[in-house]
């Protein structure tokens, strides 16, 4: 029987969990929070950051613009401010395409082994 806790989606994620999801350091997450004013994670009484799924999606979009598309921080900030509605779901498409690419590469490699 599968663990029921695995099926429950978390409401908040720690900075370490977000950094691990994006394969970046926690210091980069904090830096982007200071650079991109649209990132406003919730903080508890002790000041510990808690990120929602929306925050994580916003980080993914920033990652895509800066790390994959090569935008400067200022350029990415302008793109985010000027194209909020256009970009909102674009990172989802990019992630889907990456998953498809990985699947196709895996299939190609498996077919190559069978020959």
pLDDT at 18: 93
Q: Measured between alpha carbons, how far is 41 from 71 in angstroms, rounded to an integer?
A: 23
Of 108 and 7, the one with more pLDDT: 108
Residues in the chain: 115
Q: What are 63-99's pLDDT values in tens digits?
A: 988 988 899 999 988 888 887 655 555 656 667 777 7
Is 14:56 a contact under the CB 8 Å cutoff? no
Tell me the domain boundaries of the chain. 4-114
Instruction: Please state which architecture CATH assigns to domain 4-114.
Output: Orthogonal Bundle (1.10)
Report the C-alpha gap between 16 and 56 in whole angstroms: 12
pTM of whole model > 0.85? no
Quickly state the pLDDT bin for 40 (edges 50, 70, 90): confident
């Amino acid at each position: 029987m599968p663990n029921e806790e695995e099926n429950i989606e978390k409401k908040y994620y720690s900075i370490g969990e977000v950094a691990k999801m994006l394969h970046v350091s926690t210091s980069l997450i904090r830096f982007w929070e200071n650079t991109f004013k649209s990132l406003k994670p919730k903080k508890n009484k002790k000041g510990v950051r808690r990120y929602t799924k929306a925050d994580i999606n916003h980080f993914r979009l920033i990652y895509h613009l800066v790390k994959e598309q090569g935008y400067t921080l200022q350029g990415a900030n302008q793109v985010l401010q000027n194209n909020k509605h256009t970009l909102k779901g674009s990172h989802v498409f990019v992630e889907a395409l990456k998953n498809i690419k990985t699947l196709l590469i895996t299939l190609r490699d498996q077919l190559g082994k069978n020959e």
